[in-house]
Amino acid sequence: MNNLMIFEERQVLGKDFKIYGTKENPYFLAKDVSKWIDHTDTSKMLKSIDEEEKVKNIVRTLGGNQEMWFLTEDGLYEVLMQSRKPIAKQFKKEVKRILKQIRTTGGAVRNEEEFIKNYFPSFSDEVKQAMILDLKQQNEKIQKELEEKNRFLNQISASSNSILVRDVAHLATKQDIKIGEKRLWNKLREWGLIQKGSTKPMQRALEQGLFEKSEFVIQRSNGVETKFTTRVTGKGQVYIIERLLNECN
């Protein structure tokens, strides 16, 4: 069972539209499909299609890796055909158009072509082609950055090592997020994950598995003193890095 990643994301008919997997083998999150066509029962929807038209797979969420149901391309078309909602027919048309576009051009370039033709009709064909080429290069760069980001976050998520907050700040720096240890502590307090005026994690953050708190005893001349260290789990590292990246965008 693979960890599926998003390779295309956009707005379609006012809905958040994501495609997982690859352009050759696209998958669609079942609960997303339910929302697209206003289906009230995802389980019932899944029962209406053949076994080979649906698959369980792993997807990374803020709550950690979760096993979820996905529809294959055929499964999606079957669900859309079964639905009596007018939006289902519109979605089927849009999905086919988007997949054809992706398989033909590799992604968003066709959209950019349409944009340039619609808004810059007076430009010469030579200038238009130069603009399209430039946009294609930008899209490829963005896609590469997204792939690197996903690979980086998957490596963190797979790690069983808990690290210090300052080490998380170093990880963030590798993703071009300019933040030091002190600022990161302040962010964690701002997000309600760390107690104000302290470095102790909030109870809910511990229960969510974002942090670990280890206690140790120091022998003093006047007795013993209990200290603690807050460490960030792999799950917590992914949560923090993703949230910082989202705030930067």
The per-residue pLDDT for range 26-51, each reduced to its tens digit, is 999 999 999 999 999 999 999 999 99
Residue carrying structure tokens 């511990």: 206
The per-residue pLDDT for range 39-96, each reduced to its tens digit, is 999 999 999 999 999 999 988 766 667 889 999 999 999 999 999 888 898 899 889 8
Share of the chain above pLDDT 70, in %: 78
Q: How high is the pLDDT of residue 9?
A: 85
β-sheet with 223-232: strand ranges across? 163-164, 223-232, 211-220
Q: How high is the pLDDT of residue 167?
A: 92
Q: How high is the pLDDT of residue 44?
A: 95
The per-residue pLDDT for range 188-231, each reduced to its tens digit, is 999 999 999 999 999 999 998 899 988 777 777 777 777 789 99
Q: How high is the pLDDT of residue 46?
A: 96
Residue 16 and residue 3: Cα distance in Å, rounded?
Answer: 21
Q: How high is the pLDDT of residue 230?
A: 93
Statement: residue 160 has pLDDT above 80:
no
Residue 138 and residue 6: Cα distance in Å, rounded?
Answer: 19
Q: How high is the pLDDT of residue 191?
A: 93
Better pLDDT: 32 or 172: 32
Please state, rounded to an integer, the average pLDDT across all residues of the chain.
82
* Contact in structure between 212 and 162 (CB atoms under 8 Å): yes
* Contact in structure between 71 and 125 (CB atoms under 8 Å): no
Angle at 17 between CA 11 and CA 21, to 5 degrees: 140
